[in-house]
């Protein structure tokens, strides 16, 4: 059960509700929110009789939640959440495309990509400065230097920036430079990192873990929300299966399932989802057709020179084709790009 307090409820009002819940034999957890404070009721095995709580001053409503994820679930909030990044809305009418290289490699590469992404009408640039690589000998990213280059690309183009964070130190650094923090698949269940980004006020792009169920993804989002940051964009990026013709198996059915279970927006990553550039465009089109709120795509001016994920990166001319395809499908599903 969640007890939602009215806006402006005082510490003492909250304390009184907590005391009443504890007298009933349950424990409480105050869940901070930017809009409203909620009190989670823990320890009940069956439905709690909430009639007394509902009558208490400053209680807005009591919500009976049956799912293990509470704040990010539809039971808690029936209308879709729209995540705002400057004047961009994710989860609204418009489909959002995020594009850019896997990693920031050098000044020329990121500025050139930013320009072509901007010219294609894309509002958000991606680019990793901290790369979690399978091999310790692979390119690990430029670190803070990469963040500075992303900031320069932002200044030159006006694009919003998303970059991956991998630990506390990179969160503290990246939050000074970028607009959205990405939690990568490998860190989806790094609970201390989830709490850390939950304590920032930047939107979080949370990617599904390599072998995570949808409930596990939603529980990871719950970690972020329970720290007070509700600005979460979920991302389906393919999961590990026995299929060996693609890098991962892009689970497009996750999109309608997540729309049913959660109010958060869900976007799809057809680049990591398939692992090969020639499978990216059809998968992106399918993602829009099935109801995704956007896509995140890897683009590189010269994929053959890329320091990471060149095989799945689109060349500029292919990226233009992707944009045309996405626009066509968006129209069919009554959305705009
Ligand atoms: C990435 O976006 O470059 C990335 C590493 O993605 P994932 O965490 O989904 O593998
Ligand atoms: Mn990549």
Query: What mean pLDDT is reported for the chain?
Result: 95
Q: Is 329 in the pocket of ligand 1 (CB under 6 A)?
A: no
Cα pseudo-dihedral 156, 157, 159, 162, rounded to 10: -50
pTM of the predicted model as reported, rounded to 2 decimal places: 0.93
**Residue 30, token pair as written in the block:** 């105050």
Which is it for strands 232-236 and 266-268: parallel, antiparallel or unpaired? parallel
| Cβ neighbours for 51, distance < 8 A, ≥ 6 positions apart | none
User: Which band of pLDDT confidence, cut at 50, 70 and 90, is reported for residue 77?
Assistant: confident
Q: Is 207 in the pocket of ligand 1 (CB under 6 A)?
A: yes
Ion ligand 2: residues, Cβ under 5 Å? 102, 309
Alpha-carbon separation of residue 2 from 50, 79, 129, 229 (angstroms): 10, 17, 39, 17
**Angle in degrees, 0-180, between the axes of helices 316-332 and 280-289, rounded to the nearest 10:** 20
Instruction: Look at residue 236 in the predicted model and tell me its pLDDT.
Output: 98
- Return d(Cα 134, Cα 60) in angstroms, integer: 48
Residue 46 has pLDDT above 90, yes or no: no
User: Which band of pLDDT confidence, cut at 50, 70 and 90, is reported for residue 44?
Assistant: confident
Residues 296-322: tens digit of each pLDDT: 999 999 999 999 999 999 999 999 999
Dihedrals phi, psi of 129, to nearest 5 degrees: -105, -25
Residue 30 has pLDDT above 90, yes or no: no
Which is it for strands 83-85 and 88-90: parallel, antiparallel or unpaired? antiparallel
Cα pseudo-dihedral 12, 13, 16, 18, rounded to 10: -100
Residue 34 has pLDDT above 70, yes or no: no
User: Which band of pLDDT confidence, cut at 50, 70 and 90, is reported for residue 66?
Assistant: confident
Ligand nearest to the CA of residue 312, numbered in listed order: 2
Instruction: Look at residue 4 in the predicted model and tell me its pLDDT.
Output: 93
Q: What is the rounded average pLDDT of the residues 244-269?
A: 97
- Return d(Cα 333, Cα 337) in angstroms, integer: 11
Q: Is 102 in the pocket of ligand 1 (CB under 6 A)?
A: yes
- Return d(Cα 308, Cα 139) in angstroms, integer: 7
Q: What is the rounded average pLDDT of the residues 82-111?
A: 97
Q: What is the rounded average pLDDT of the residues 223-232?
A: 93
Closest by alpha carbon to 232, among 76, 97, 63, 80? 80
Q: Is 184 in the pocket of ligand 1 (CB under 6 A)?
A: yes
User: Which band of pLDDT confidence, cut at 50, 70 and 90, is reported for residue 78?
Assistant: confident
Atom of ligand 1 nearest to the CA of 238: 9
């Amino acid at each position: 059960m969640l007890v939602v307090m009215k806006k402006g409820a005082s510490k003492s009002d909250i304390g009184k509700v907590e005391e009443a819940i504890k007298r009933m034999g349950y424990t409480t957890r105050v869940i901070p929110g930017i809009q409203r404070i909620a009190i989670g009721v823990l320890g009940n095995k069956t439905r709690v009789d909430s009639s007394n709580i509902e009558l208490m001053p400053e209680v807005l409503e009591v919500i009976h939640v049956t799912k293990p994820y509470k704040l990010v679930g539809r039971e808690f909030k029936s209308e879709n959440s729209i995540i705002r990044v400057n004047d961009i809305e994710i989860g609204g009418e418009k489909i959002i495309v995020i594009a850019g290289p896997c990693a920031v490699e050098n000044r020329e590469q990121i500025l050139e990509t930013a320009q072509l992404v901007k010219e294609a009408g894309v509002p958000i640039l991606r680019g990793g400065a901290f790369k979690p690589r399978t091999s310790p000998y692979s390119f690990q990213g430029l670190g803070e230097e990469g963040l500075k280059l992303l900031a320069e690309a932002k200044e030159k183009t006006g694009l919003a920036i998303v970059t991956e964070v991998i630990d506390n130190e990179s969160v503290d650094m990246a939050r000074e430079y970028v607009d959205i923090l990405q939690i990568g698949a490998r860190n989806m269940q790094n609970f201390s990192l989830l709490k850390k980004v939950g304590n920032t006020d930047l939107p979080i792009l949370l990617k599904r873990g390599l072998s995570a169920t949808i409930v596990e993804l939603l529980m990871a989002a719950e970690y972020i929300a329970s720290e007070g940051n509700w600005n979460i964009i979920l991302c389906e990026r393919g999961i590990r299966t026995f299929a060996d013709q693609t890098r991962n198996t892009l689970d497009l059915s996750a999109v309608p399932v997540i729309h049913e279970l959660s109010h958060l927006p869900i976007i799809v990553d057809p680049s990591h989802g398939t692992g090969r550039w020639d499978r990216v465009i059809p998968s992106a089109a399918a993602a829009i057709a099935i109801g995704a709120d956007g896509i995140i795509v890897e683009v590189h001016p010269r994929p053959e020179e890329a320091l990471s994920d060149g095989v799945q990166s689109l060349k500029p001319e292919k990226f233009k084709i992707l944009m045309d395809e996405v626009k066509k499908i968006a129209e069919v599903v009554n959305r705009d790009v």
